[in-house]
Amino acid sequence: MASLLIKNARVIDPSQDFDKVADILIEDGKIAGLGSFENADEIIDASGLAAAPGLVDMHVHLRDPGQTYKEDIISGCKAAAAGGVTSLLAMPNTSPTVDNAETIRYILSKAENADAKVYVAASISKGLKSKEPTDLNEVKEAGAVALSDDGRPVEDTKMLIEAMKNAPKLGMAVTAHCESLPIANGGIMNEGEVSRKLKVKGIPESAEDCGAQREVAFADVLGVPVHICHVSTKNSVAMIRDAKKRGVKVTCETAPHYFSLTERELIGRDADYRMNPPLRREEDRQAIVEGLKDGTIDAIATDHAPHSPEEKLDFEKAPNGSIGMETSLSAGITKLVKTKELTISELIKKMSVNPAQILNIKAGSLKDDYPADVVIFNIDEKYTVDINKLHGKSKNCPFKNREMYGRVRYTILDGKVVFKA
């Protein structure tokens, strides 16, 4: 296989505490060294650009199988590559649900030639119905790396406890959608000033807080790890911070929209700003930023959830979800790095190093012999998000028409350029 040399980049690799101008040598699809090198079959001059381990997005809905009019594995991975994402965790709420070996094999087979590496989360319960447990040994053997009923909480607490107890033995992560469905009660946005103004049913913050409290309590009592998905409330952040101080094995993620936007975006009744959990209040947004700064929040993931423009037309009936893989790095640079809330190295750690460690996959590092998965980007380049230029099938982007910093210039997967701006 050919060699590739990335010259003169600001190389940022938090896994090695490395942040300086250097070259990256890639041979046979693997990292062969950081330093100063002269020759290779292909050379990319990255002067003035930054290079980092490819992003690891641990929360993605690819809609394949079953809803491929919204997204499919190939189109989703094109969107990933355009955002610098080289590894992603595909959630199981497809049709059929990812609760069996056959569906996992279908996803992994289709992903073989995609522009990003697809890892699979299998469901904890069959059909996400919390009635019958998935055969964990079967899905592990077929290639799943994580367990989640994301899209819904696991309502049967006994079933959730069994999964949390067995997952570590199988080397799998449990990623938990924390929500009390009775408290959420069919709400469509955050319960508060804006929902009252729009006269629509809101979701109280306590719906998430109660769910997070349950999972944290189980992790504490059982002494096993749990990962909390898409944290959006100040109380959840405080609860997880406290649990970590007590030694509970809890990790968590938030999404770019929760540290960037608030419920006020919904005043115009645009369903592209409707997701679950919903955009919250300004004080919640600030608490999310604080949680990122002090290490309470380990990871930034997108919860990339494509829907067709037709589905998003009716504000009150539209399904929840927004897309995010192409804008996640820019959102982080714009809202966290440029505002001096995080350094660029701290941001990359939360978008690449930590998610890879939580999922226990070989990614998130530019160490020798690691897969040559690299994102090259311009921290200072400004651009406006144009939904018509996005690479996935759906356009429900909450950052549409916004001016942002941090343009991805190249994405390299196993030593091969899969995206060039």
Mean pLDDT, consecutive 10-residue stretches, the chain (421 aa), reads: 94 98 98 96 98 98 98 98 98 98 98 98 98 98 98 96 98 98 97 98 98 98 98 98 98 98 98 98 98 98 98 97 98 98 98 98 98 98 98 98 98 98 95
Per the residue annotation, which of 99, 150, 303, 373 is the catalytic one? 303
* pLDDT given at position 245: 98
Q: Tokens for 220, please give them.
A: 């504490």
Q: How many CA atoms lie within 13 A of 219 on its CB side?
A: 26
Strand ranges (E), 67-116: 85-90
Name the one residue in this structure whose structure tokens are 């279908």: 106
Per-position DSSP letters for 52-71, written without gaps between them: EEPEEEEEE---TTT-TTT-
Indicate if 303 belongs to the active site: yes
Whole-angstrom distance, CA of residue 319 vs CA of residue 294:
33
Q: Which of 67, 227, 251 is nearest to 148 (CA)?
A: 227
Residue 77 — φ and ψ, nearest 5°?
A: -75, -25
Burial (CB count <10 Å: 0-12, 13-18, 19+), residue 117: buried
Q: What does each C-alpha distance from 354 to 253, 335, 349, 373 come to in angstroms?
A: 10, 20, 6, 15
Type of residue at 224: V
Q: Return the exposure string of 159-198: e unless at least 16 CB atoms fall within 10 Å of the residue's CB, then b.
A: bbeebbebbeebebbbbbbbbbeebbeebbbbbbebbeeb
> In DSSP terms, which residues pair with 322 in a beta bridge?
304
Q: Which of 283, 281, 274 is nearest to 303 (CA)?
A: 274
CATH H-level superfamily of 54-359: Metal-dependent hydrolases (3.20.20.140)
- What pTM did the predictor assign? 0.98
Q: Tokens for 232, please give them.
A: 């959006």
Burial (CB count <10 Å: 0-12, 13-18, 19+), residue 108: middle
Task: Return the domain boundaries, the chain.
Answer: 3-50+372-381+401-420, 54-359
- Three-class SS state of 267: helix
403, containing H or E segment: strand 403-413
The CATH topology of domain 3-50+372-381+401-420 is: Urease, subunit C; domain 1 (2.30.40)
Q: What does each C-alpha distance from 46 to 107, 113, 154, 332 come to in angstroms?
A: 34, 26, 46, 21
83, containing H or E segment: none
Q: Tokens for 201, please give them.
A: 């049913």
> In DSSP terms, which residues pair with 407 in a beta bridge?
378
Cβ-contact 64, 37 below 8 angstroms: no
